[in-house]
Amino acid sequence: MTRDGATADGGTPLGLPWSTGVVRGTDGAVRVAGVDVRDLAATHGTPAYVLDEADLRARARAYRSAFETACAQVGTGVDVYYAGKALLTRAVARWVHAEGLRVDTASGGELAVALAAGVPGAHLGLHGNNKSEDELRTALDTGVGRIIVDSLVEVDRLADLVRAHRGDGGAPAPVMVRVTTGVHAGGHEFISTAHEDQKFGLSLAAVPGGDSPALTALLRVVARPELRLLGIHSHIGSQILDPSGFAVAAQRVLALRAELHARTGVLVDEVDLGGGYGIAYLPGEVPLDPDRIAKEVAQAVADACRDLGQPLPRLSIEPGRAIVGPAGLTLYTVGTVKPVRLEDGRVRTYVSVDGGMSDNIRPALYGAHYHAEVVSRTSDAAPVLARVVGKHCESGDVVVHEVRLPGDVRAGDLLAVAATGAYGRSMSSNYNLLTRPPVVAVTAGESRVLVRRETVDDLLALDVAAD
Ligand code: LLP
C-alpha cells in the first residue's frame, strides 16, 4: 500500500465497515483479498457470504495480543475464547485456534463442529441456559475444559450425570457459574443478557433473608464432589461500544469471589468476562479498540483485587462479533429496482436483491443498520435514497434501511453489504424455502467454499413423507 492509502496497482481500500482486504480497483470493481467480486459471483453465485481470512485472523490476533499484554502488565494471564455462535465452520474454528484462541460453544451442534475441526476438548467451553443431558454427556465424554452452568437445577443435573457416568472415582467436571451482575450494556434489549429480568445466569442481587442466587449456586458447586469450581462467568451484552460496563461487571464478580472465599475458603482461579465488543456497521462508526478495552479491563480487575485484598484471578474473554463480523460481507445481485413516492413527495428507490431476511435477520429482528455499495462498477449518476430489500413475502424483509446508491443502479449490478460476518449465516433460515448461501473464504487472491450452498435437493431430503 502507498502512503495515500492506495494499493500498489492504484486500488483504494474502502476502509471500515469493510474488511481490510476490500479494495475498489481502478476499473471501478471491488476486490476482496485480491479477488474481483465479479469473479466471486461467477464462480460461487449469489447471494454468498464472503469471508476475508486474513482480516479475521488479524482480529483474532489483535484481541489475543491486546489482552495478553494488558494482563501481563498487571501480573496475570488470559485465555481468549472465540464465541462460535457468531459463525462456526470447521475452517473458522481451525483459523482461530491456530491464532491461539480457544472456542466457546453454545449447543451440541457448535460443540460437534469445533471438535470436528480438531480443537481439543480442553480448549472448548460449553454454554447454554438449557443444555440437554446429551449435550452435557458429550461435553463430559470429550473432555470439554469448562461447562458454564446457568441454573441451580443444572448444577445438580450435571453432578448427577458425572456420578452416573464416571462413578465415584472419576475426575470432577470443570465448572464455571454464570452470574448476572445487573450491568446492562449493548445495542438492543434482546441482546443485553445481564438484565435481571431475563433467562440467563444467576443474579448477584441478594434475596431478602438469604444469599444471592449466584452465591447459592457457587456454594452448591463447592458442595458437590463431582464438580470442580473453576471460576465465575459474566457476559453483559453484545455490540457494546461504551467499555465502562465491563469494569463495573468485573468489580461485582470479584466481590462475589471474595465473598465465596470468606464463606468457604475456596478462592476461584478464573474470571470470565464474556464477549460483546462492538464493531462498526456504518461508515464513521468507531469500533471498540482492543488495546484500550484490554487495558481498562485488566486495570479494573487489578484495582478491585487490590481493594479487596485478593490475589488476581486468571481472566478469560469471549469475543464473537468483533472477530468475525467485520471480516464478512454478503454479495447479492440486484434483481428489480422500483421508485416509490413517499407521503412527503420524496422518492425512495427500492432495490431488491436475491436474498434477504433468510440470510440476514438482524435488520428485521433488531432494527440493525448496515451499509451497502454497488461493487461491480462505479457510476457518475447522482446518488439516490435507496432501501435494499430481499425477496421474501414480507414487507419487513429489509436488508439495508437507508443508503445512498448510484441513481442508475440496475438489475445485474452486484451489491455488497458490509460487516455481515457475525450472526448472519449463524441466524439464517429457509424462510420461503430459500436455500442458504455458501460461505466462501478469500485468501491472498484465491477463493474457496467453506460451506456449500444449499440446494433444493437438500430441502427435499429433509421432507421425508410425501403423504
Ligand atoms: N459469550 C456469551 C456467554 C454470549 O452469550 C455471547 C453472545 C458472546 C460471548 C459473544 O458475544 P459477541 O462478542 O459476539 O457480542 N444475535 C445477536 C447477538 C446475540 C449475542 C448472544 N450472546 C446479534 O445478532 O446481534
**Residues 217 and 81 placed together within one structural domain of the fold:** yes
**CB-CB contact of 110 with 344 (8 Å):** no
CATH of residue 359's domain is 2.40.37.10
The closest-lying atom of ligand 1 relative to the alpha carbon of residue 322 is 13
**Residues 304 and 331 placed together within one structural domain of the fold:** no
What pLDDT digit, counting tens, does each position of 338-389 carry? 999 999 999 999 999 999 999 999 999 999 999 999 999 999 999 999 999 9
Q: Is the pLDDT of residue 86 over 70?
A: yes
- 425 C-beta closer than 6 A to ligand 1: no
**Residues 234 and 339 placed together within one structural domain of the fold:** no
Residue 187 — pLDDT band, cuts 50, 70, 90? low
How high is the pLDDT of residue 167?
A: 66
Choose one of 199, 238, 277, 425 to mutate for the ligand 1 pocket test, by most ligand atoms within 8 angstroms of C-beta. Answer: 238
How high is the pLDDT of residue 140?
A: 96
What pLDDT digit, counting tens, does each position of 34-68 carry? 999 999 999 999 999 999 999 999 999 999 999 99
Residue 182 — pLDDT band, cuts 50, 70, 90? confident
Q: Is the pLDDT of residue 90 over 60?
A: yes
What pLDDT digit, counting tens, does each position of 212-222 carry? 999 999 999 99
| DSSP 8-state secondary structure symbol assigned to residue 277 | B
**333's grid cell:** 445481485
Residue of 393, 461, 464, 466 with catalytic role: 393
The pair phi, psi for residue 294, each rounded to 5°, is -65, -45
**Residues 269 and 380 placed together within one structural domain of the fold:** no
- 235 C-beta closer than 6 A to ligand 1: yes
**Residues 263 and 389 placed together within one structural domain of the fold:** no
How high is the pLDDT of residue 7?
A: 81
CA 154 to centroid of ligand 1, rounded, Å? 21
Known binding residue 38? Answer is no
Residue 243 — pLDDT band, cuts 50, 70, 90? confident
What is the tally of structural domains in the chain? 2
- 186 C-beta closer than 6 A to ligand 1: no
Which residues are CB-neighbours of 315 under 8 A, at least 6 positions away? Answer: 67, 71, 76, 77, 78, 79, 270, 271, 272, 273, 297, 298, 301
Q: Is the pLDDT of residue 1 over 60?
A: no
In this structure, the residue with its CA closest to atom 12 of ligand 1 is: 276
Give a yes or no: residue 258 inside a domain: yes
Which pTM does this prediction carry? 0.96
**What's the CA gap between 370 and 15, in Å, rounded?**
15
**158's grid cell:** 450435571
Boundary of a domain, candidates 319, 344, 376: 319
Give a yes or no: residue 5 inside a domain: no
Average pLDDT of the residues of the chain: 95
Boundary of a domain, candidates 319, 345, 361: 319
Known binding residue 366? Answer is yes
**Residues 238 and 352 placed together within one structural domain of the fold:** no
Mean pLDDT over residues 459-467, rounded?
Answer: 96
Boundary of a domain, candidates 262, 290, 319: 319
What pLDDT digit, counting tens, does each position of 131-168 carry? 999 999 999 999 999 999 999 999 999 999 999 987 65
CA 148 to centroid of ligand 1, rounded, Å? 15
Residue 71 falls in the annotated catalytic set? no
How high is the pLDDT of residue 169?
A: 66
Mean pLDDT over residues 238-262, rounded?
Answer: 93
Residue 190 — pLDDT band, cuts 50, 70, 90? very low
